[in-house]
Structure 1
Amino acid sequence: MQASSAEKLVVVEPTPSALADRVAQAFLTRVKARTKNGRTAHIALTGGSMGSTVLRAVAAHPKVNRIDWSLVHFWWGDERFVARDDQDRNALQSREALLDHITVPAENIHEVAGADSGLSLDEAAAAYAAELARFGGQEHAWPSFAVCFLGVGPDGHIASLFPDRSEVTETDAAVLPVRDSPKPPPERVTLTRPVINSSKRVWLVLTGADKASALGLALAGASYTNVPAAGAKGRKRTIFFVDQAAASEVSEDLIEQVY
């Protein structure tokens, strides 16, 4: 399939492992291109098992040390409001998978405050928004991510934007506190859709047959209030990286063979 940059692309690999390797290769290629002339690259990471699998594949890639990581800043699309050493924490998972294995300056890693930081949930969200604003431009009070990684839940949620909740329709804030999350832990901090959709590239990575319905609805143009993944869109590219099981409901003519 030949697609314009405005369209959503679907890239399929047979297994989660093969998919992680392909995403890792694409990621390193993109970061290398972005930073080759000394430009800064802002990256938004995601949590979950597949997010960590991709980052481990990046860490193991032979080209990982060809990147000038001092030019790369890491953020997270959402974070569980737990202690910094809690294994549920996205930032901890990302550190163990990749960040602790590359020469990225500590000041380039922008974590949400933990529940043990002394800040309340609302204060942690406000502090994260303020940190984003330090790197904002004339257009937005946040950086435009070169790549924004997103996981997708079986219910179609992205970051901590869950179906039919107020957070998914918020447009006046960059960061929100989330309480009573339908998925534990109950307290979280999340980026909003305007921040996600100002990214140059949004890459949604999902595996498993339980994600097939959400993927099909997102590609079919479902309402983003009901299926938040349907509302995720990068300014240059939006790519769904999926394994064969998740792609079971995707029409062949939507699958990109060459990306």
Structure 2
Amino acid sequence: MTDVAEGREWILPDAQAVARRVAEFLFERARAKPGDAPYVIALSGGSTPKRLYEILAAAPFATEFPWSRLELFFGDERFVPPDSADSNYNMVNRALLSHVPVPSERVHRMPAEGDPAQAARSYQRELRAVYGSDALQPGRPLFDVVLLGLGENGHTASLFPGTAVLEERTAWVSTCTPHDAPHRRLTLTYPAIHSSAYVLFLVTGAGKAEVLGKVRARDPAQPSSHITTEGELVWVLDEAAAGKSDAEKRDG
């Protein structure tokens, strides 16, 4: 098991470089996966992931990525219409999906209508159908890659401080109503994220340096401190988030 303190670091100059390095990584892992096996990714919202999706939607990835093998899920979603400016699906669709040939049946939008608890159960059924089992099995990850961000309050996906979802140890998908952010949400849970070959945290900007330090020190008050994976965890940081000074940057 790999946790946040044990994860390795990639430190890049800026957010654009972070996004490009992750695009290259996703492409490398897709090409390395044998046969016609599906390549299952949990997508994240946020500004740096949006840059990533825009890079994937352009040359050379747009024509060379094995899009037909993808199974795209979402790490979380606000309970808003899919065309809302606050919808993660809407952002991903505009930045990526509308530009590349991912089969529509392989894009698994989190339902954000009706009863939230029923929506969570429905999404879990979709995950189980792709996984081929009702129970997560060690050594057989649910996800090839989970993409995560890091909020200044220590949240990731929609695992927010002080919410009941942090105690969920059975369901793969649950609901969350944050105390300090708008909208009820659906989110992957800790057990679902743990069942991954890779977890990549994309963290950029000086405003994230303080919380990043707390999470890497396993501060229990930070929800992101409790992320684990049965595979490998990688912190993909820009220099500002990593806390590198101007002098350190000049020295390389």
Q: What TM-score does the superposition give when structure 2 sets the normalisation length?
A: 0.88
1:59 deviates by 1.6
Given the alignment of the two structures, is residue 122 of structure 1 paired with residue 117 of structure 2, yes or no?
yes
Unaligned runs of 5+ in 2: 246-251
Moved more, 196-205 or 125-134: 125-134
Give the match for residue 171 of structure 2: 173
Label 1:198 to 1:22 Cα distance change in 2 as closer, same or farther (>3 A). same
Q: Which letter does structure 2 place at the counterpart of 1:85?
A: D
Equivalent in the alignment of 1:13: 12
Structure 1 counterpart of 2:222: 227
Task: Give the CA deviation at 1:191.
Answer: 0.8
- In structure 2, what residue type is equivalent to 1:140? L
Q: How many residue pairs get matched?
A: 240
Q: Distance in 1 between matches of 2:29 and 2:59?
A: 14
How far apart, CA to CA, are the structure 1 residues paired with 2:25 and 2:40? 16
Is 1:150 aligned to residue 145 of structure 2? no
Cα separation, 2, equivalents of 1:242 and 1:209: 10
Whether the 8 Å contact between 2:153 and 2:211 is mirrored in structure 1 is: yes
Q: How far 1:122 moved relative to its partner?
A: 1.8
Deviation at 1:7, TM superposition (A): 3.2
Alignment gaps of 5+ in structure 1: 251-256
Contact 2:10–2:235 (Cα < 8 Å) also in 1: yes
Deviation at 1:180, TM superposition (A): 4.4
Say which of 91, 96, 99 aligns to 2:97: 99
**Secondary structure of 1:44's partner?**
strand
C-alpha contact 1:161 1:168 (8 A) present in aligned 2: yes
- In structure 2, do the counterparts of structure 1 residues 249 and 156 end up closer, same or farther at CA, with 3 Å as the change threshold? farther
The Cα of 1:220 is off from its aligned counterpart by: 1.5
Local SS of the residue matching 1:50: helix
Paired residues of 2:160 and 2:178 also in contact (CA < 8 A): no
85-94 or 61-70, larger mean C-alpha shift = 61-70
How far does residue 151 in structure 1 lie from its aligned partner after superposition? 0.8
Question: Would the alpha carbon gap of residues 137 and 7 (structure 1) be closer, same or farther in structure 2, given more than 3 Å must change?
Answer: farther
Partner of 1:83: 81
8 A Cα contact 1:132 1:143, kept in partner: no
% same residue: 35
Structure 2 match to 1:253: none
Stretch deviating more after TM superposition (103-112 or 156-165): 156-165
Q: Which residue of 2 aligns with 1:111?
A: 109
Distance (Å, rounded) in 1 between the aligned partners of 2:41 and 2:84: 23
Match of 1:140 in 2: 136
CA distance in 2, matches of 1:183, 1:51: 20
TM-score by length of 1: 0.86
Moved more, 6-15 or 68-77: 6-15
* Conserved 8 A contact 1:59-1:98: yes
